[in-house]
Amino acid sequence: MNYLASIIESIQQETNTGTICELEMERAPVFYIELPRDELVEDIIQLTEALIQSVKSEAFTPLQAYISWICKRRLEQGVRLADIMLLFDLYEKSIKDAMSLFLKDDLPGLNRYRREIDALLDRTRVYVSEYFFTLYEETVYKQFEQLRTINEIAAYLTSSLDLYEVLDFIVTSALRIFHAECGSILLLDENSELHASITTGWQDMHSSAAISELLVYTTSLMDLEYKELLSEQMKAVFKKESLSRVKVIKLYLHEFDIGVLIIGFRSIQKMTPIDQKLLETFANHAAIAVHNAQLYGDADFKLKQRIHEVTVVLEQKRAIMHCMREGVIAINTDGYIDLVNSEGQRLLGRQDNIIGKHIWEVIPNSRLPIVLKTTQAEYDQEQEVGDKVIITNRVPLIVNDVVIGAIATFRDKQDVKILAEELVGLRSLLESMRAQSHEFANKLHAISGLIQMKQYDKVVELITLMYKTQQDMVSSIVRRIKDQATAGLIIGKISQSSEQGIILRLHPRSKLLALPASFSSLSMVTVLGNLITNAIDAVASLPAERRVITVYIFEGKKYVNIRVTDLGTGIPEPYKKKIYHRGFSTKQGSRGVGLALVMQEVKICGGTISVHSCENEGSTFCIKIPIR
């Protein structure tokens, strides 16, 4: 440990300077950044010296003394525990960096001493937390006591509802008003047994309970004098407490027993009838105060419990909302924002607090006020927000048939697009694998039969032919179509088509070296994949000679030309203007999004799309993508 102390002494200048540098780089905690440099340097020097002394003495006491002093000082200055902990983190980083440089040639030693430093600093952190909270509790308690003293008169005049304070106030006031030396309040529990809740001035805190147990309550006010006592047990209590007289007053409200107030006199006291009446009036007010405080205490406990439950639910919902990948924004009936989550802020590009602002001030083209007015929900709508295009759902908030606001959820269209394209690609891959599995199963059956017939030469011949056919097809496509995603899509669709008895051919003059920058591989997969899928559906139920699809892709000087031709049923003339609308479809169970996505992708890159179709003859979709 002494060697460790010498190491820390050797690097203390680097440690202290490094901590200052880390603070300046981190720009936090703000308190320490704004602290005068001399004071900050002195704090860090003292911390290092305390650390050295603890290491030398192999005791935590020097660090404990410094931590106690600095925590108390910082708490008085209003510094948060988190800020103190952050300073320790920066200090730890600095001292470890300095040790790493000092012991760079002694890695085993470095690891050993870093573990010792870790243990000591971890213990320091634990002590900081515990001591800081102890100081905080003491400070809060002291402030509460000061506040209670300042507001004591006002609080009790307006009838305090804290049961303990009410009881203490009753006993203290009774002693003061009636010049008694000791007193207690005993309250009835749920089993109708008396328990001393407050005792003041008794030599034995159990004496008041002993008196109450020995009494038979015949009246609401009982006056006990030592010289008149018959019970030896009661006399023993009086003698032990040096009492001359005891007043026992029942506390009740509307014949509902609450407890008893007991006040004792050691000096000879004579109470006049007025004093007796005052004591009874005092007892009545005391009973009301205790009853109200008990009711409030029960209600307060239940309310706090309910508030805790509601708080937990709200925090859970808030956490869920902020963990969502969708942006969420809500407005009240006047169009002002009263809720937005973190993702919503990010998608809107807003770092400031937008709660309380009008929705049109934040999103000028928002349709939430319209939804608020029409009470009609809108789903899967595209909307431009700044430089982004989002997909949004808007619904009115209706409670008890009354519209109280509207809410929108939204995601970046690009995210939705990527997810959709990934799903499309996965589906195409699965269909391709299934088709190839079916195709190869048939071929394996043929091979198995040839082996059983011992036609081994034929087996080799068939395998060679299978490999050559497949390889020729793949090589031909890959040689002409250089974009891997496009080539892979075509190969997969050929396998899928083959399984359904459909011939899908790539036109021999097809050529694609690279896609334009404005038209990504994902866009090509969306466009070509949907066109081929539609063509497969168009010819699937037709005779074999018409189950033919031709794909033509050619990269010219100005455009990339994409053409998909089928010999299917064609498109009826009334439908030609509707086929690109989202939701329109002639296929049962279809959502009508395929051609809408194709049109969307083509428009984004500034391309054109056209269709030539005759009923019962087939269709050709032609797309031109500009090369920029």
295-304, 317-326, 362-371, 442-451: least confident range: 442-451
- Report residue 554's pLDDT band, with 50, 70 and 90 as the boundaries: very high
3-state secondary structure of 357: coil
Give the model confidence (pLDDT) of 335-355 as tens digits.
Answer: 999 988 888 888 888 888 888
Domains parsed from the chain with CATH numbers: 2-147 (1.10.490), 157-298 (3.30.450.40), 322-410 (3.30.450.20), 455-626 (3.30.565.10)
Quote the pLDDT of residue 563.
94
Quote the pLDDT of residue 154.
35
Strands in 191-242 per DSSP E: 194-200, 221-225
Quote the pLDDT of residue 621.
92
**How far apart are the C-alpha atoms of 347 and 137, rounded to whole Å?**
43
Give the model confidence (pLDDT) of 44-63 as tens digits.
Answer: 899 889 988 988 888 889 99
Residue 148 scores a pLDDT above 60: no
Residue 149 scores a pLDDT above 50: no
Quote the pLDDT of residue 552.
94
Give the model confidence (pLDDT) of 418-475 as tens digits.
Answer: 666 566 555 555 655 555 555 566 666 666 776 777 776 666 666 666 655 566 677 7
Quote the pLDDT of residue 158.
45
Residues 237-259 have a mean pLDDT of 85
Q: Which is more confidently placed, 498 or 378?
A: 378
Q: How is residue 244 written in tokens?
A: 């001359």
Residue 145 scores a pLDDT above 90: no
Quote the pLDDT of residue 280.
75
Residue 291 scores a pLDDT above 80: no
Quote the pLDDT of residue 459.
64
- Report residue 599's pLDDT band, with 50, 70 and 90 as the boundaries: confident
Residue 132 scores a pLDDT above 60: yes
| 145 φ, ψ (degrees, to nearest 5) | -60, -45
Three-state secondary structure of 25-64 = HHCCCHHHHHCCHHHHHHHHHHHHHHHHHHHHHCCCHHHH
Q: Helices 232-241 and 207-214: crossing angle, nearest 10°?
A: 160
- Report residue 143's pLDDT band, with 50, 70 and 90 as the boundaries: very low
| 30 φ, ψ (degrees, to nearest 5) | -60, -40
> 124 near 67, Cβ under 8 Å?
yes
22-26, 126-130, 145-149, 545-549: least confident range: 145-149
Quote the pLDDT of residue 147.
43
Quote the pLDDT of residue 105.
85
